[in-house]
Amino acid sequence: MLTSLVNPGDNVEMTAISRVASKPGAEIKIYTSKVYDVINDEKIEILMPIVQKKIILLPVDGEYKITFFTAKGLYACTARVADRYKDNNVYTLLFEVTSDLKKQQRREYFRYACVLPMQARELLPDEMKSIEQGELYIEPGLPKRESTIVDISGGGMRFVGKEVYEKDSLIVLEFLLPMNETQKRFEIVAKVLLSQKIPNKVGEYEHRVQFTYIKKDAREEIIRFIFEEERKNRRKEKR
């Protein structure tokens, strides 16, 4: 099934599977990359992920949920890192598939258009080091730039502001979402996918980011917020 659905060049997300990641409130490590080669239905080669221009050496025997963004939709399976090597100057991970490939719903990636205030800043060197060591630490109380969320999903968001960020850099986002008549605070580390000038708006930039270090319950709460807001909007339209 893998060979009939997945092709070289398809985008992938690799989500770490471990006892720590399975605990409520644990940080989820998500890496993005591309398929290098599909060897057979049991083995696949994926390019090693790159963060801040640094190649991330995922551990051999590490287990991951791999989501494939194919021409026929989203599919996912679990897989184990069997080997890692350099092939024709390309750094590659060899995965052995450990579960069936299953069709995924796009629920998590449904984007909700909104206008919400947010603050953001780039990660500090010490914070980056904490990620490399496998234990994220965010320095509290540091100043952030004012920005505005224009759409959000369980997987990332688009926002505008006066700061420009380097592609693939990691930034920390802080924002509030109205939930159950209260304001729920979120602090999430995200990877910059795009940062570009907004035409006809001097000093304004649009950013697209993907959540890379987010607590399991936080992702679920964001998805719940989106669908609650959509439900409210549908009720208003019916009236």
Decide which of 26 and 175 is more confident.
Answer: 175
**Shared-domain flag, residues 9 and 46:** yes
The residue-averaged pLDDT of 9-21 equals 75
**Shared-domain flag, residues 154 and 73:** no
**Shared-domain flag, residues 24 and 37:** yes
pLDDT at res. 19: 46
**Shared-domain flag, residues 17 and 30:** yes
Decide which of 94 and 155 is more confident.
Answer: 94
**Shared-domain flag, residues 42 and 130:** no
* pTM for this predicted structure: 0.62
**Shared-domain flag, residues 112 and 223:** yes
The band of 238, judged by pLDDT with boundaries at 50, 70 and 90, is: low
**Shared-domain flag, residues 167 and 98:** no
pLDDT at res. 135: 78
- Provide the domain limits for residue 180: 108-238
User: At which residue do the structure tokens 């304001």 appear?
Assistant: 183
Sort strands 73-87 and 63-70 into parallel, antiparallel or unpaired: antiparallel
Which of 75, 104, 133 is where one domain is finished?
104
Whichever domain contains 93, its CATH number is: 2.30.110.10
**Shared-domain flag, residues 82 and 128:** no
Provide the 10 A C-beta neighbour count for residue 190: 24
Decide which of 19 and 110 is more confident.
Answer: 110
Please give the helix or strand (H or E) that residue 220 lies within, else none. Answer: helix 216-238
Which of 104, 139, 163 is where one domain is finished?
104
At 46-69, the pLDDT tens digits run 999 887 778 888 999 999 999 898
Sort strands 54-55 and 50-51 into parallel, antiparallel or unpaired: antiparallel
**Shared-domain flag, residues 80 and 152:** no
Distance CA 140, CA 150 (A): 25
- The answer on pLDDT for 25 being more than 60 is no
**Shared-domain flag, residues 8 and 59:** yes
**Shared-domain flag, residues 122 and 189:** yes
**Shared-domain flag, residues 199 and 82:** no
Which of 104, 136, 167 is where one domain is finished?
104
Helices (H) and strands (E) in the chain, counts: 4, 15
Whichever domain contains 191, its CATH number is: 2.40.10.220
Query: Considering only CA atoms, which of 99, 14, 20 is closest in space to residue 58?
Result: 14
- The answer on pLDDT for 22 being more than 70 is no
Distance CA 184, CA 175 (A): 8
pLDDT at res. 208: 93
At 74-129, the pLDDT tens digits run 889 999 999 999 888 899 999 999 999 988 766 556 778 899 999 999 999 898 88
Distance CA 124, CA 132 (A): 13
Q: How many domains does the chain have?
A: 2
